[in-house]
Amino acid sequence: MLGSARRSLLAGVAVFNLVAPLNAYSSSFVQISGGFSRFLLSRRDALRACRQVSPCVNIWRACAVSACDDGAGGDERSSKALAGSVYAITGNFRQRREETIKQMETLGCQLSPTVHKRVEFVLCDDDALTSETKHVRKAAKYKIPLVSIQYVEECVQLGKKLRPEDFDKTRRISGLQLEQE
């Protein structure tokens, strides 16, 4: 159900521009941006919102999340494929660590500063794996999969959460010796 706050936000927006028909996308969510606010609605709620407000109400932009990238909010992805996942990160990802963390937030992941048994996977780069960082050693202790950014890209591409074990970068850990696949 569309709340009155969202309805009033839609009522105050300035320019009408429906980027594409809402039925044209396989994604079940659309992003509606207006003024300084953005929010995610299901396709059904977006259609209901468009019908509930008067014909003179203008919507600045409504499109599937995968098609939205107006430069205002960073890199938007096709879905919240990893929503609810708890992960840890180790490595600098070629000086793009902060960008990687923001990307994970847009996918619905929760960052844990430490590795513990509730962490589903540890996102790591090759340098962290080679240098056996503290996070890599703790992940080995708890048998938590160490995955690369490819795991995230595959989840986004398929629009669903995949098993991190299938993307585990280590086959076997004996002591501190790590073998890559």
Ordered per-residue pLDDT tens for the chain, 181 residues = 444 444 444 444 333 333 334 433 334 454 554 444 455 555 566 666 665 554 433 343 344 343 344 333 434 445 688 888 999 999 988 888 888 888 888 888 999 999 999 999 999 998 999 999 999 999 999 999 999 989 988 888 888 889 999 999 875 444 444 444 4
Listed in order, the ranges of the chain carrying CATH 3.40.50.10190 are: 86-180
In the CATH hierarchy, which fold is given to the domain comprising 86-180?
Answer: Rossmann fold (3.40.50)
- Alpha-carbon separation of residue 26 from 21, 23, 107, 121 (angstroms): 11, 8, 17, 28
The model carries a pTM of 0.52
